[in-house]
Amino acid sequence: ACALRTPRSAPAWLRPCAAVLAVVLIVPLTLSFSRGVWIATAAAVLVALALSGRRQAVTSLAVLGAAGVVLVGGLGIGSEMIADRAASVTRVTSTPDRSVSDRYAMWSAAGAMWREQPAAGVGLKGFPDHRDGHASIGLSSGSDTAGAGQ
């Protein structure tokens, strides 16, 4: 909200509403526990800052940096959770969970399909039909939930 300053001709209620919405949207962002969402949000913030001009970008980054230092460093808000999530990035290869193992198995199956048919592949939307023939039995049986509960 800081970087996207409203023009002088905008209604008076627009800027406070944008600031309130930015603060309110922090809650679902924090509760999502998705690194992808955090990365996308950081990229969007950087693009918005870049488009807002150099002076506004530097000011906004200084304010955000100071707020981050105070919240995490000074008050300890979320510091353990942030450390755990950051450390989990390096644990992906050493102790992968089921979703990571399944993803690796699907990449392996896709690579096997590509090696068999490098020019044409298996066709548009052909991966699900050919996956089981190229993937490990754990992926074939453990991840196939189509129609479950029906």
Distances in Å between the Cα of 2 and the Cα atoms of 23, 52, 92, 110, 125 are 11, 10, 36, 44, 43
- The structural domains of the chain, with segments of one domain joined by +, span 14-89, 96-142
CA angle at 21 for the pair 17 and 23, rounded to the nearest 5°: 120
Q: What is the pLDDT, as a whole number, of residue 150?
A: 40
* 119 or 19, greater pLDDT: 119
Q: How far apart are CA 95 and CA 75, in angstroms?
A: 31
Phi, psi of 48 (to 5 degrees): -60, -40
Tell me the pLDDT tens digit for each residue of 69-126.
887 777 666 667 767 766 766 666 666 677 777 888 888 888 989 999 888 888 888 8
The pTM for the full model equals: 0.46
Q: What is the pLDDT, as a whole number, of residue 132?
A: 80
Q: Locate tokens 């995490």: which residue?
A: 72
